[in-house]
């Protein structure tokens, strides 16, 4: 099991007033961002698995399909549905 980069995808992370752009990865259908030589999980709305880190913008090169398959990436539709709400 390993993280796989999503080519052309990026996310803008915010922590303690600092902003940084990061690459986006996937692992078992979940989206992650590279952060301080580690990975944090991206969740619906602007949340992450790190309580002090949020994200402002997520740019991915695919659109959700009805069955939840995003190109070669399988990601839960609930992630994108929550982000849109």
State the DSSP string of 22-69. EEEEEETTEEEEEETTEEEEB-STT-BSSTTEEEEEEE-S----TTSE
State both tokens at 32. Answer: 């992650």
Say whether pLDDT at 16 is over 80: yes
Report how far residue 40's alpha carbon sits from residue 66's, in angstroms, rounded to the nearest whole number.
26
Domain that holds residue 64: 4-84
- Over residues 44-83, the pLDDT tens digits come to 778 899 999 999 988 877 654 444 444 444 454 445 554 5
Report how far residue 18's alpha carbon sits from residue 3's, in angstroms, rounded to the nearest whole number.
25
What number is the average pLDDT over the span 14-43? 91
Q: The pTM is what?
A: 0.71
The tally of domains found in the chain comes to 1
């Amino acid at each position: 099991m390993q993280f796989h980069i999503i080519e052309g995808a990026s996310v803008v992370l915010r922590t303690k007033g600092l902003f940084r752009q990061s690459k986006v990865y996937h692992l078992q259908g979940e989206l992650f961002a590279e952060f301080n030589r580690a990975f944090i999980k991206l969740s619906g709305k602007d949340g992450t698995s790190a309580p002090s880190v949020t994200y402002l913008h997520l740019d991915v090169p695919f659109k959700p399909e009805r069955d939840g398959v995003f190109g070669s990436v399988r990601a839960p539709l609930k992630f994108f549905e929550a982000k849109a709400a």
